[in-house]
Amino acid sequence: MKKILPATVAVLMLLAGTMAYAAEEQWSYAGEKGPEHWARLDPAFTLCGQGANQSPVNLTGFIEAELEPIKFDYTGLVTKIQHNGHTVQAAYSAGSFMTVNGRQFELRQIHFHTPSEHQLDGKQFPLEAHLVHADAKGQLAVIAVLSSLGAENPNLKKLWQQIPQEVGQEEGMATQVRADHLLPENREYYRLNGSLTTPPCTEGVLWLVMKNPVAVSEEQVKQFSEVIGHPNNRPAQPLNARVVLQ
């Protein structure tokens, strides 16, 4: 029987739309298990310290390119929402896809970070959503949506109403939330290669960061922060030799 490496197990759990709380206790966002220590916590987390293409980054030094529009075919809905101790993660029904550069990826789950993990020319945002996709070979692509303070976001409101208050809890959705309603109307994007922003920090992830933020109210950011109980953003990592296409 082929041995499955711990890092592979973590990615498979991510694609399944859930991360067991017991596994999440291995690392944290602060203290002795914080980001600066991730690489030493488990041999499977080595890339967190030694990887050359780590995420998130400060998006800067943009290179002009003819990026084709992303084709969205999101037909499903959020099916359940989980508080895993590190984020609020929403599982998505099967059969929703996005296509970029001829590659089709299926949407698997959506989760959130506050403050934002990615920065634009050094600017950090109060909230960032990650729409995690995988192709038929298990290769990952993540659409990142930044949020700026403004009016209440009606779609986030529906999600926030369902957030479990206790770590490890999971709730079914009583209201319908579509992934395309979480995206900005203008879907121009930045593109770069990177990694997962949590252990095992697996590289080879295609990042598509929406140029235009969506609105979120200060109260909504506060509500999310109070549920999580701490900032849940990995600090920006070195860009190294990568280019950011726009």
Tell me which residues are annotated as active site: 86
What count of other Cβ atoms lies within 10 Å of the Cβ of residue 105?
Answer: 24
CB 160 within 8 A of CB 220: yes
Q: What pairs with residue 69 in β-bridges? A: none
Residue bearing tokens 């099967």: 94
Q: How far apart are CA 173 and CA 81, in angstroms?
A: 7
48: three-class secondary structure by DSSP: helix
CB 117 within 8 A of CB 55: yes
Give the burial class of 69: count Cβ atoms within 10 A of its Cβ; 0-12 exposed, 13-18 middle, 19 or more buried: exposed
Residue 29 backbone zone (phi > 0: left; psi -120 to 50: alpha; other: beta): alpha
CB 117 within 8 A of CB 142: no
Give the burial class of 100: count Cβ atoms within 10 A of its Cβ; 0-12 exposed, 13-18 middle, 19 or more buried: buried
Reading the block at residue 197, the tokens are 């922003």
